[in-house]
Amino acid sequence: MSRTARLLALLQLLRAKRLPATAASLAAELGVSERTLYRDIAELTAQGAPIHGEAGIGYVLRPGLFLPPLMLSEDETEAILLGLRYVDQRGDETLSKAASAARAKIAAVLPPSAREALDNPVTMPGPPGFGFPRNEVALDALRAAIRAQTKLRLDYEDAAGVRTRRLVWPLALGFMNEARVLVAWCEVRQDYRSFRTDRIAAAEPVEQRYPGRRAALLEAWRVRTQSALLTRTDSE
């Protein structure tokens, strides 16, 4: 690997880290000595890369650095394109358009040698299913509330046709094979709940942000869901 390629790989590695990484771990991932790693960090810092490091903690790449598109491997290209095709099949209109736009951007930077993966992919998503039930509330409205972290007042109809009113904290949208769900904290149930979007009869934004951070609430939901799956598996 040339030094230029190694420096780009180091930047890419730091950009993917959510927590500070030690020099030893970075050197091991790049296959170089710690001495070389220190020289590369110094070179990148001298060129203006916002790399912050503390003794005993590690290095972290601060926000503010724009990196040009990097060369994708064949497997990386396949993984991204498979995800975009899946979104195009199962996403709503907004996400399908976004997937097409992203695919066009990727196509614009791929070299001719990598176009084969784009035109004749090795991997394909499964069949799209039988379509999705019609939503009374546009998913864009739910997405807006999730991003703004504002509460929603829902009129929700369960499988038996019983309608209830819920005040929820919207956290994420889930796209299943034949249904879409809103993951939220429900103030009525005082617990996490998943609401099928086709059963939401109305969604009224409440001009009030819900307490806490969405990321923390979503992580707690993931832990709760994983624990429930493990418990169910152990009991089978």
3-state secondary structure of 2: coil
- For residues 182 and 142, the answer to whether their CB atoms sit within 8 Å is yes
pLDDT for the residue numbered 230:
58
Question: pLDDT tens-digit profile of 23-79?
Answer: 999 999 999 999 999 999 999 888 888 888 887 789 998 876 555 555 667 787 888
Nearest residue to 17 via CA among 52, 69, 55, 56: 52
The pLDDT of residue 234 is above 50: no
Both tokens of 8, joined, read: 């780009």
Asked if 51 and 60 count as a contact pair (C-beta separation under 8 A), the reply is: yes
Read off the pTM. 0.64
Spatial distance between the Cα atoms of 88 and 81, rounded to a whole number of angstroms: 10
Domain range summary for the chain, segments of one domain joined by + = 3-61, 74-119, 139-235
pLDDT-wise least confident of 91-95, 152-156, 225-229: 225-229
CATH top-level class of 3-61: mainly alpha
